[in-house]
Amino acid sequence: MNVMQEVLKQKEYAVEMRRAFHRHPELSWNEVQTAKRIREELTKMGIPYEEVEGTGTIATLSGKNERPLIGLRCDIDALPITEIKDLPFRSENEGVMHACGHDGHISMLLTAAKVLSEHRDELKGTVRFIFQPAEEHTDGAEKVLATGAVGELDTVAGMHIFPQLETGTISVDPGPRYTSVGFMNIRIIGKSGHGAMPHYAVDPIYVGAKVVDALQSIASRETNPMDTVVVSVCTFHSGTKANIFAETAELTGTVRTFNPQLHKDLPSMIERIIKHTCEAYRASYEFEYYGDLPATINDERCSQIAAGSVKKILGEKGLVKFPGTPGGEDFSYFLERFPGVYAFVGCRNEAKDCCYSLHHERFDLDEDALVNGAAFYVQYALDAQDEF
């Protein structure tokens, strides 16, 4: 089939779906109405599905053979952000918004499912459509995979709407796409006292400031300069009054890297610095590290197949390069388990005011990009069935 031609026939459907989901965004693990609508659409297409982890949906379209088994995945949850752009289909759930484009992701995967279901006679293998909840919570993919319902995929493809790239372009570079993600809670325990008499106290703010400064030595002095390493303390709270040393200071932050080994090593490196800094200034500490999300790393062979897919639907100019970015994505759990590819689908169009970053209260996407993303899903499924 001419994939782009067939997907363009479904553009009205893609836009309708995106706007419907945009109007009714739901937070992680609460995507009840979202899941209901997805399942209604799959039923209309005659694609059987399985419900997993409450709001997750895994649908299977069978071709001539059981294998290869090709997975196509999207995320379905929204963010706790109040939308301020006055769209005719703006969010009707106050304080909740599809500010990360997952409404577009659902639309693109449903549109791909619709096209493939109408051409199932061209499928040599089987396609599994994975509508995954709670990506923003970072544990959706892990829990869905743990059910076993995904099966043993030969390859898997995912994507993200990407406002740094112009509409009409897609990046499927091999190697790192997103960094690993970790979070830390640090509690510095000092000794309270009067602000005018610091020698009777152990100031947790002073010690905390030394900890913040010392942690930066990880990136500047302990790791390879060629590695991306981010150790950021983003909140620092202590005290109630201008002349009182509080007993404790509470710090939180995030940790990022593309390097899988460094990802494993960073928690102990961080705690070592906290421990010895606190000891040096007579304080103690409590340390918690959580949200241990691995880096999203594209398989080289799958990226090569995907690059060919992009060229088929968008031409040579449609395939662009974009470096990995220090965001987080739980599709990484899929890529740890199966060979696959994660695509950045351009949706930037300044003339349409579609130029704000993800997670911005004015975020919007150029709906022409929906066709490109859906076409990529379809073309990759067709191309991969000849390679696996």
**Side-chain half-sphere exposure of 185, counting CA atoms within 13 A:** 5
105 is in an annotated binding site: no
CB 87 within 8 A of CB 361: no
Residue 23's SS3 state is helix
Distance from chain centroid for Cα 85: 23
**Side-chain half-sphere exposure of 349, counting CA atoms within 13 A:** 14
271 is in an annotated binding site: no
By DSSP bridging, strand 340-348 and strand 155-166 are parallel
160 is in an annotated binding site: yes
CB 20 within 8 A of CB 111: no
Cα–Cα distance measured from residue 157 to residue 302, given in angstroms and rounded to the nearest whole number: 9
Cα–Cα distance measured from residue 286 to residue 267, given in angstroms and rounded to the nearest whole number: 13
136 is in an annotated binding site: yes
Cα–Cα distance measured from residue 310 to residue 325, given in angstroms and rounded to the nearest whole number: 21
Number of H helices, E strands in the chain: 11, 15
Burial track 230-258 (b if 16+ CB lie within 10 A, e otherwise): ebebeebebbeeeeebbbbbbbbbbbbbb
For the chain, strand residue ranges (E) read: 49-52, 56-62, 69-75, 126-132, 155-166, 170-171, 175-178, 180-189, 193-194, 229-237, 244-245, 248-257, 284-293, 296-298, 340-348
Cα–Cα distance measured from residue 133 to residue 77, given in angstroms and rounded to the nearest whole number: 6
Annotated binding site: 100, 102, 136, 160, 359
Annotated binding site for Mn(2+): 100, 102, 136, 160, 359
